[in-house]
Structure 1
Amino acid sequence: MRGPVAHLLDTPHHDGSPLYAPAGAALGERVPVRVRVPASGTERAVWLRTIRDGEPRLEPARLDQETEHERWYVADVLVHNPLTSYRFLLDEPGGYRWLNGRGAHQRDVPDAADFRLSAHDPAPAWLDTAFVYQVFPDRFARSSGHHGEPAGPLPDWAQPVAWGTEPAALGRDTSTQLFGGDLPGIQSRLDHLQRLGVDTLYLTPIFPARSNHRYDASTFDRVDPLLGGDQALASLSSELHARGMRLVGDLTTNHTGAGHEWFVTAQADPSSEEARFYYPSDEPPGYVGWLEHASLPKLDWSAPGLAGRMVEGPESVIARWLRPPYGLDGWRIDVANMTGRYGGQDQTHEVARMIRSTMRAHNRDAVLVSEHFHDAGADMGVGGWHVNMNYSAFTRPVWSWLVEPGSTLPFIGMPVVVPRRSGRTMVETMRDFDAAVPWSVTRHQWNMLASHDTARLRTVVGSRERAEVAAAMLFTYPGTPVVFAGDEGGMTGENGEHARASMPWDEIDAGGGPHWDATTFETYRRLAALRRSSVALRTGGLRWAVVTDDAVAFLRETADERVLVLLARGPWSGALLPGHLLAPGERAQNLYGGGDLRLVDGALVLPGDGPGVQVWRLA
């Protein structure tokens, strides 16, 4: 085996976290930003480059602190624009380097990866500690406890199936199989969420529809009676809040169902206000559908009256469910990237800001989460969506690193299989996408290993050991951990529809079974507790320390705590880190994994074991 690999801690660093920049800034304010340069650096001077009203400006940074191991420079940024970008210039012998969100570069770079300060209000502070649990209501729990086919009366679209039936993976049945889960059933199982460490429940849509997924709502004015109706939501919300937990709903602002009362009126009366809510088309079926689906007619946000119905005012859809007795703590917006966009029309930012403003008026601590499967950088940090469901910067790169060798699973919406890539490629991808948004967004992004729209994690990675590595990344990486119900027990599924299996409560109550891995549940529970125990893991910055094909290590740091995380998908060469990461006379405290971090000849020795997870508190 080759000798230990080199570390990455001898490069300049800035990440926008509180060690380096303020958590927030107001327009017109001057705020200090800091950059860390190793003692081995050859810089003659450090400059701060900002963009003000579209024009670059350079100001000298001043040496603020110097130790045996590093130098800290500081410069002041004038927050002149709502989103102020900046990066650092290091003047060095023979040339210069730029430092931006992707790292240090001995060449000129575009502004796309510059650091950013946002003057917009950040996401609510409770996301600092949140652990979100996603539930697909039809598949979580039945209040009746009955395991056979759900009893009637049932809508004509529904195909009743017994609890525990394997869900259809393809075809029309994927949207019509009805398992009969309901909101009282969820309420009856809140102890399970709390045992896991969950403090926020996110429900996929709960409005009446003509499908089990309910993204084709027929109204936004009431809760589906199949789920228990309005009173069931009020009761669930009350119980969650009594336990100190929160509840986030799911809304389609891009479209309604073809059975929606607005659309029915629009089709019946072309002169109605509702008729303006949808785009006409000369092609069948005579209107524009989301991705050409006739069952999902697309909303036109230029239509007079739509904003009033959906967003503005106390009786709007957005506001009504935030108020008692329902008291939602936020909304996740389905296909947010398409809302208000069609042809030459682009009102996405306007709509997002409108929703955020209404939410603040009714619940200042409500969160607004977008669904955006690809690059969301242009839509974040502009005063609209607080955070995004982080497929691009988290789910996809983690899958590609930990996927089971030889897997034939499709890669999240692409006509190719999940590629098996190196740790270097994973980190490059994460840095690219993280650099496209302000740190205030990165620190709260909704990170997921799977969702109701993807294959199950266990099916992707193939083993309990690699699932543990993935879960450790979820609970130690910057952002908000989000778990799809069942992943904590190693449930399987080959695509989003197949993954929507009913929870095996008999096995869960019995402590395990063929569909429930109690060891994996304990792993998730321990990792959630680890995150809660560490301020650095919740709010600290991120420094990559080691990046190899088969292992990565990074530091999470605050002013008072430094935590080292080592993740390996298999055996690797090991690495040596600078011994000064430990305070003089201190020993590394093992927080997870049970291994010692040895100090040998002044260097910290990272072991080459794998697959596995090790987490240490250094100081």
Structure 2
Amino acid sequence: MTVPHLLDHPHHDGSALYVSNQTPSLGETVTVRVRVPLACTERGIHLRVVRDGEPRMSAAELVETTATDRWYEAQVLVHNPVTSYRFFVDEPGGYRWLNGKGLFAREVPDVSDFRLTVYEPAPSWMTGSLVYQVFPDRFARGIAEKPTPAWAQDADWGDEPIGSGPGVGTQLYGGDLPGIEQHLDHLVDLGVGTLYLTPVFPGRSNHRYDASSFDHVDPLLGGDEALVSLSAAVHERGMRIMGDITTNHTGDGHEWFVKAQADRSSPEASFYYWQDAEPGYVGWLEHASLPKLDYTSEELARRMIEGPDSVIGRWVAQPFALDGWRVDVANMTGRYADQDMTHEVARTVRRTMQAINPDAVLVSEHFHDSGLDMMGDGWHANMNYSAFTRPVWSWVVAEDSEVPALGLPSTLPRRSGHDMVAAMRDFDSVVPWKVVASQWNMLGSHDTPRLRSLVGSLEMVEVAAGLLFTYPGTPVVFAGDEIGAEGVNGEHARVTMPWDEPERWDGDTLDVYRRLVALRRSSVALQTGGLRWVLVEDDAVAFLRESPEETVLVLVARAPWGGAVLPEAVAPGALPVTVYGDVQLVGDGDGYRLPGDGPGVHVWRLR
């Protein structure tokens, strides 16, 4: 049986091969290109642009015919800051629409149209490298002696983290910022480009998302001087460093909240939402320990997000020199009842950061559909749980897994490659390509189960990691995943790094991560190229990453699947070069035969 491929479908994406200017100015005209395989029977291509809310149609021009495709060009006037468009494919007997989700022989809503925006994308330093997430309490101890705060219970470095119930937030291992600095060579060896730290402000928990102050670094982590030293050491190694901030709430021990409760006429009282019901104020998700911030307060905006003296500004400036922020529960910031200031807050945070450091990055946390918040004028990118993490998990999870589905009253189901790709395309298509190309793609974080616990084997870790390092966006690794760390939920997954326990290191897993990081760093197409799906089967998927300089073919299989044949036109005039895996792609007269083995990852450079 011949497995069908998708190379006979017309294709467009927002990458440089198809869009003449990815960051146009308002009023500029941009050339967009469509690739139509020779096997298609189109009578013509038209562009449909929405301008001021009204669709307009114009004919695309056939500008080139190659040995494999006909190329059409059309002009998009960027009349609105976010300008949406799609393509009309006129065919005998009817027509089809080409949008960000694919090709459709039916009417489709505008939500998945391609988009051009006038907003600058995330700086290339982030998207071109690996982001490495560190939970400071669990990475390394650098300070020999320090007091145990009243809220904490001491843990030995090799203890298993408490996964649920009492002690989850108070089990303290004593990791700190000097400990991280002492182990930066591990990050360099792995190929990390950006160190991302979860919160470093003082609180009354091991995770520190309940800040008691934004004015200084927790002394348990080494204080302000430790962050200054760590930042300098990171930058000396050619890496960047990002912080983590809770713009949505503080802890109930925060100095602002203490003043607000003591004096309801104080400026700080306007920072919070108050209510008659217990506990008398609004908490994040009804948690009394996390009072929610009210951005209708101009004084709160001034202190928290606006200008160089704000919390946001101070830590981006010297001597701390953070290169950006990841914003906790960004989807809820500024939203309460009939108020919605999320976009205003995001734009203000970005403006404040970039006035100090034009290359600073702003990343949101949003666990579900972030499309309406991701047009590119505020958050540069999102932690991409919806379009990457969840779909990939559902494809690679072990068939007998009992790991709970994140945030859902169920175990994680095992789904087909068709379901995985459909979900990816659904969520990718509702944001501009520049955002897709920057999204933080993860296989786990401090809030999720560990990948190894989900999949159960090194082979399936490699399959998942193969997708992570070849898919558009920014790959993010939670410290420990690269050595096979395990954990069945977010709290249980916050294991310590076993620096002095080599028996807890999986060297084979580390080798897989090193090779995949090196592969991505060696390829322009994997860092900046577009995405063209080639094949989608239950147990295997293949796609092209294309840039003007290079084309790469990626095949990922979770199980043996039978293989497929691609037309030789996929690599015209060139011999494919194997850059990952051990299979040479050779034409046999019928085309290039993709191997049907699995689990496995294969990557070939076609051009």
Which residue number in structure 1 is paired with residue 466 of structure 2? 472
Structure 2 counterpart of 1:216, from 210, 229, 232: 210
Which residue number in structure 2 is paired with residue 134 of structure 1? 133
SS at match of 2:316: coil
The runs of at least 4 consecutive aligned structure 1 residues that moved more than 2 Å come to: none
Kept in 1: contact 2:88–2:97 (CA 8 A):
yes
Aligned Cα root-mean-square deviation (Å)? 0.9
* Cα deviation 1:199-250 (Å, max 9, x = unaligned): 1000000000000000000000000000000000000000010111000000
Which residue number in structure 1 is paired with residue 73 of structure 2? 74
Structure 2 residue 82 is matched with structure 1 residue 44: no
SS at match of 1:392: helix
Structure 2 residue 8 is matched with structure 1 residue 10: yes
How far the C-alpha of 1:382 sits from its partner, in A, is 4.4
* Cα deviation 1:473-508 (Å, max 9, x = unaligned): 00000000000000000100000000001111113x
How far apart are the structure 2 equivalents of 1:550 and 1:544? 15
Tell me the amino acid that sits aligned with residue 618 of structure 1.
L
With over 3 angstroms needed to count, the CA separation of the structure-2 counterparts of 1:200 and 1:382, relative to structure 1, is: closer
Structure 2 residue 275 is matched with structure 1 residue 276: no
Which residue number in structure 2 is paired with residue 528 of structure 1? 517
Which residue number in structure 2 is paired with residue 33 of structure 1? 32
* Cα deviation 1:12-59 (Å, max 9, x = unaligned): 101111111122111010000011111011111111001111111111
Tell me the amino acid that sits aligned with residue 575 of structure 1.
A
How far apart are the structure 2 equivalents of 1:400 and 1:182? 35
In structure 1, stretches of 5+ residues that fail to align are none
Which runs of structure 2 are paired with 1:95-134 in the superposition (5 Å)?
95-134=94-133
SS at match of 2:409: coil
* Cα deviation 1:559-605 (Å, max 9, x = unaligned): 22111111000100101111012232x32111011111121114000
How far the C-alpha of 1:172 sits from its partner, in A, is 2.7
Which residue number in structure 2 is paired with residue 91 of structure 1? 90
Which residue number in structure 1 is paired with residue 220 of structure 2? 226
How far apart are the structure 2 equivalents of 1:583 and 1:74? 22
Which residue number in structure 2 is paired with residue 553 of structure 1? 542
How far apart are the structure 1 equivalents of 2:312 and 2:178? 23
Structure 2 counterpart of 1:609, from 592, 597, 600: 597
Which residue number in structure 2 is paired with residue 175 of structure 1? 169
How far apart are the structure 2 equivalents of 1:462 and 1:238? 39
Tell me the amino acid that sits aligned with residue 528 of structure 2.
T
* Cα deviation 1:439-475 (Å, max 9, x = unaligned): 0000110000000000000001111000001001000
Tell me the amino acid that sits aligned with residue 559 of structure 1.
P
How far the C-alpha of 1:4 sits from its partner, in A, is 3.5
Aligned length: 606
Structure 2 counterpart of 1:587, from 575, 592, 597: 575
Segment of structure 1 superposing worse, 465-474 or 21-30: 21-30
Structure 2 counterpart of 1:398, from 385, 392, 400: 392
How far apart are the structure 2 equivalents of 1:23 and 1:544? 21
How far apart are the structure 2 equivalents of 1:125 and 1:53? 31
Tell me the amino acid that sits aligned with residue 584 of structure 2.
D
Which residue number in structure 2 is paired with residue 299 of structure 1? 293
Which residue number in structure 1 is paired with residue 233 of structure 2? 239
Which residue number in structure 2 is paired with residue 160 of structure 1? 154
SS at match of 2:531: strand
Kept in 2: contact 1:4–1:573 (CA 8 A):
no
Tell me the amino acid that sits aligned with residue 13 of structure 2.
D
Kept in 2: contact 1:133–1:485 (CA 8 A):
yes
* Cα deviation 1:515-565 (Å, max 9, x = unaligned): 221100010000000001010011011111111000001111112211111
Kept in 1: contact 2:376–2:435 (CA 8 A):
no
How far the C-alpha of 1:152 sits from its partner, in A, is 4.2
Among all aligned residue pairs of Structure 1 and Structure 2, give the percentage whose two residues are the same amino acid. 65
Which residue number in structure 2 is paired with residue 453 of structure 1? 447
Kept in 1: contact 2:99–2:114 (CA 8 A):
yes
Tell me the amino acid that sits aligned with residue 509 of structure 2.
T
How far apart are the structure 2 equivalents of 1:424 and 1:587? 30
Kept in 2: contact 1:349–1:382 (CA 8 A):
no
How far apart are the structure 1 equivalents of 2:166 and 2:200? 20
In structure 2, stretches of 5+ residues that fail to align are none
How far the C-alpha of 1:110 sits from its partner, in A, is 0.2
Kept in 2: contact 1:82–1:382 (CA 8 A):
no
Which residue number in structure 1 is paired with residue 179 of structure 2? 185
TM (norm. structure 2) is: 0.99
Structure 2 counterpart of 1:573, from 562, 567, 575: 562
How far the C-alpha of 1:126 sits from its partner, in A, is 1.4
* Cα deviation 1:276-330 (Å, max 9, x = unaligned): 1100011110000000000000000101301100011221000000011100000
Kept in 2: contact 1:248–1:331 (CA 8 A):
yes
How far apart are the structure 2 equivalents of 1:361 and 1:158? 39
How far the C-alpha of 1:86 sits from its partner, in A, is 0.3
TM (norm. structure 1) is: 0.97
How far apart are the structure 1 equivalents of 2:359 and 2:226? 23
Kept in 1: contact 2:44–2:91 (CA 8 A):
yes
How far apart are the structure 1 equivalents of 2:2 and 2:162? 48
